[in-house]
């Protein structure tokens, strides 16, 4: 009987609820971003809650590829950060369970999520994108709700400008109205002044009914296509106590056909994308071959590309062989021998022909570029079917080890780190997409650029977490760069408790032998700095000298003399041709200090003990 281990069940119970919570939080955030972006297309249109809810549902499905990787990163950071903060990871490691074994059930879960993300990208996302963009375009084309402002002209009614001095918001009555009707053209404008009026929409929502009271109407009677421009133009003036005007104004919500959007690259799965790419590539290749054949067979100087010959009882077309000239054609003399009018006609004909050919080739190039862009967009959409699955795995292997390293749970530090990493991922991914779209980079390189950048980061964090390395130990990075640049310094201090005292004559002998070997090495290297550098870099004796120097430093670290500690801190970490003089200077200081100690010990006729060292240090 199959049974999940208790450790694996514990990890799944710790991770899955956090993943669900962070997923809906991230989805809500990106959905709000969508709302702020398209808020102008939704507000003031009189749309029902069912239509807006349907749009948000499809928009939420469309935002899953952006929210899912961020949710996995944040959930893995929080889960392993909580485990590290409660020392549960330490207990697992103490029990012999490695970090990779702890991550094993979640890794399997990530594989299932990646497979599900692929099928979501291939089967669900095209339908959701088609319906979302269809709804959004339909909302953009819907006429806004009529809301007449006070004191300004309202121009949202097609062909009509309406001015209202003030209005009664309870009854909806409009006062002191001025209407400019330019629906029949500016020359046939109609001006209406009314003391009051009411505005309503017909039951079918296809027309607006404007009821006016106590006003006048002025109308120009001249036809718009009249050729006369006399000073006296006929017009009509009408005084009315009540007048009804019917204005065409479609206020219904009409959905556009999904077929056009379904044929776009955003509404196709992998098989449909592949079929479209193959068909467009075949068309591009065939058109390119036709253009190339036409270019080769174009006649120049009225010389045809082929000529007919009679061979073997039939007429065949052969390629015209190039004409070999015994001497160059004197074009300048032939051109100058003509009259000015003929020369001008030659130039004009040449310019006209060149412009015609240029326009023809530009039109061909534009059509070819459109087809190539179609191919690139379909290829981009095909690669994006796989990038979401790979991004989910990458973000897990970044978040889980990083959470085990920082050992901080909650929403504080994990949220900051995950947002920073996701911003980096989004910038790289968006840049790669634009470069692939604009043909600045190969399609697969641009779409997979963000994954290629973050994949080594996931390997690095996983390696550091498995080996318990300090990723955020800034002293380690400081020492690394100091060692790399040769500026690292020793920081030895006096020990409070010394178990083994320093034998001064013995260490004096060690320093003397070391200094002698250093002199011999310096003579062998020579005075030429370049030669000394090359010889010193490949010299095997330097390793032995470095061991001798480290032995002296380790032995003298037990001294009770602060000046000796200060001197050995000046020893470099590596022996090079450039720092031999520095090492010899340190040796000279040690000779002086050691001689001073041996002289003080001989004057007292007693072996140097702890009390002598303490009194010297106090002096």
According to the model, what pLDDT value does residue 225 have? 47
Q: 388-423: b or e for each residue (b if 16 or more CB lie within 10 Å)?
A: bbbbbbbbbbbbbbbbbbbbbbeeebbeebbeebbe
Across the chain, mean pLDDT equals 79
Better pLDDT: 537 or 57: 57
* Length of the chain counted residue by residue: 619
362-367-373-375 Cα dihedral, nearest 10 degrees: -140
Residue of 341, 486, 412, 464 lying closest to 85 (CA atoms)? 412
According to the model, what pLDDT value does residue 114 have? 92
Residue of 508, 532, 530 lying closest to 598 (CA atoms)? 508
- d(CA 603, CA 607) in angstroms, rounded, equals 10
- d(CA 454, CA 450) in angstroms, rounded, equals 6
Residue of 134, 105, 197 lying closest to 160 (CA atoms)? 197
- d(CA 401, CA 406) in angstroms, rounded, equals 9
pLDDT tens across 166-197, in order?
888 777 788 888 888 877 776 677 888 888 88
pLDDT above 50 (res 619) = no
Q: Locate 472 and state its tokens.
A: 């955020």
Q: Locate 402 and state its tokens.
A: 């990083």
Average pLDDT over residues 526-539: 57
Residue of 512, 486, 491 lying closest to 572 (CA atoms)? 486
**Edge-to-edge order in the sheet of strand 160-167:** 153-154, 160-167, 174-181, 190-201, 207-220, 235-248
pLDDT above 80 (res 396) = yes
Residue with tokens 């390395």: 469
615, containing H or E segment: helix 610-618
- d(CA 148, CA 314) in angstroms, rounded, equals 85
According to the model, what pLDDT value does residue 497 have? 78
pLDDT above 60 (res 534) = no
pLDDT above 60 (res 303) = yes
Average pLDDT over residues 520-533: 65
- d(CA 244, CA 212) in angstroms, rounded, equals 6
Q: Locate 267 and state its tokens.
A: 């509404």
pLDDT above 90 (res 547) = no
Q: Long-range contacts of range 179-183, CB-CB < 8 Å, 24 or more positions apart?
A: 179/210, 179/245, 183/158, 183/159
pLDDT above 90 (res 592) = no
Can you give the residue ranges of every domain in the chain?
Answer: 6-141+382-466, 153-248, 504-618
Residue of 186, 281, 207, 195 lying closest to 242 (CA atoms)? 195
pLDDT above 50 (res 613) = no
According to the model, what pLDDT value does residue 265 have? 82
**Partner residues linked to 180 by β-bridges:** 161, 191
pLDDT tens across 108-143, in order?
999 999 999 999 999 998 888 888 888 887 776 665
pLDDT tens across 311-337, in order?
777 777 777 777 777 777 777 777 777
According to the model, what pLDDT value does residue 113 have? 93
Residue 203 in contact with residue 179, Cβ under 8 Å? no
Counting residues of the chain whose pLDDT is more than 90, the rounded percentage is 5
506-512-514-520 Cα dihedral, nearest 10 degrees: -160
pLDDT tens across 150-171, in order?
888 877 677 788 888 888 877 7
**Using alpha carbons only, how large is the chain's radius of gyration in Å?**
44
Average pLDDT over residues 528-537: 55
- d(CA 278, CA 379) in angstroms, rounded, equals 11
Give the model's confidence band at 615: pLDDT under 50 very low, under 70 low, under 90 confident, else very high.
very low
Terminal-to-terminal C-alpha distance of the chain: 81
């Amino acid at each position: 009987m199959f049974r999940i281990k208790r450790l694996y069940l514990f990890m799944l119970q710790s991770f899955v609820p956090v993943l669900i919570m962070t997923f809906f939080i991230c989805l809500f955030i990106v959905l709000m971003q969508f709302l702020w972006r398209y808020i102008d297309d939704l507000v003031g249109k009189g749309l029902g809650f069912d239509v807006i809810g349907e749009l948000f549902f499809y928009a939420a499905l469309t935002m899953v590829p952006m929210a899912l990787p961020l949710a996995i990163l944040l959930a893995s950071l929080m889960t392993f950060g909580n485990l590290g903060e409660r020392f549960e990871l330490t207990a697992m490691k103490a029990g012999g369970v490695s970090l990779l074994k702890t991550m094993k059930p979640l890794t399997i879960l990530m594989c299932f999520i990646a497979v599900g993300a692929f099928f979501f990208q291939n089967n669900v996302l095209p339908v959701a994108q088609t319906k979302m963009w269809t709804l959004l375009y339909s909302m953009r084309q819907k006429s806004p709700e009529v809301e007449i402002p006070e004191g300004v002209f309202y121009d949202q009614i097609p062909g009509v400008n309406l001015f209202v001095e003030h209005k009664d918001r309870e009854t909806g009555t409009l006062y002191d109205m001025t209407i400019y009707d330019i629906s029949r053209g500016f020359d046939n404008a109609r001006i209406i002044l009314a003391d009051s009026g009411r505005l309503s929409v017909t039951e079918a929502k296809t027309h607006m009914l404007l009821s006016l009271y106590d006003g006048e109407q002025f109308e120009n009677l001249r036809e718009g296509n009249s050729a006369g421009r006399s000073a006296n133009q006929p017009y009509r003036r009408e005084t009315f106590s009540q007048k009804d005007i019917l204005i065409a104004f479609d206020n219904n919500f009409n959905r556009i056909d999904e077929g056009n959007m379904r044929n776009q690259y955003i509404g196709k799965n992998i098989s449909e994308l592949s079929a479209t790419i193959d068909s467009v590539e075949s068309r591009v290749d065939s058109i390119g071959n036709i253009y190339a054949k036409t270019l080769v067979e174009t006649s120049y100087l009225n010389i045809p590309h082929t000529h007919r010959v009679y061979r073997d009882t039939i007429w065949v077309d052969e390629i015209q062989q190039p004409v070999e000239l015994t001497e160059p054609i004197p074009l300048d003399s032939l051109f100058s021998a003509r009259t000015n009018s003929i020369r001008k006609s030659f130039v004009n004909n040449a310019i006209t022909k060149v412009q015609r050919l240029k326009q023809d080739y530009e039109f061909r190039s534009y059509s070819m570029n459109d087809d190539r862009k179609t191919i690139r967009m379909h290829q981009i959409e095909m690669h994006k079917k796989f990038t979401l699955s790979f991004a989910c795995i990458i973000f897990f292997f970044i978040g889980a080890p990083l959470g085990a390293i920082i050992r901080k749970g909650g929403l504080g530090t994990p949220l900051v780190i995950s947002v920073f990493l996701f911003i980096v991922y989004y910038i790289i991914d968006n840049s790669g997409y634009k470069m692939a779209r604009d043909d600045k980079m190969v399609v697969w390189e641009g779409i997979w650029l963000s994954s290629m950048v973050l994949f080594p980061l996931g390997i690095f964090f996983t390696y550091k977490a498995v080996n318990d390395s300090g990723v955020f130990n800034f002293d380690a990075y400081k020492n690394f760069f100091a060692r790399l640049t040769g500026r690292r310094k020793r920081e030895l201090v006096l020990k409070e408790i010394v178990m083994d005292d320093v034998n001064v004559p013995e260490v004096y002998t060690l320093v003397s032998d070391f200094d002698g070997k250093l002199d011999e090495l310096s003579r062998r290297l020579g005075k030429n700095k370049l030669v000394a550098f090359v010889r010193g870099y490949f010299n095997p004796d330097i390793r032995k000298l470095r061991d001798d120097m480290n032995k002296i430093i380790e032995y003298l670290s037990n001294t009770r003399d602060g000046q000796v500690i200060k001197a050995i801190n000046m020893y470099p970490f590596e022996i090079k041709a450039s720092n031999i003089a520095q090492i010899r200077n340190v040796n000279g200081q040690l000779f002086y200090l050691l001689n001073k100690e041996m002289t003080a010990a001989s004057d007292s006729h007693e072996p140097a003990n702890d009390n002598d060292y303490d009194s010297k240090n106090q002096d």
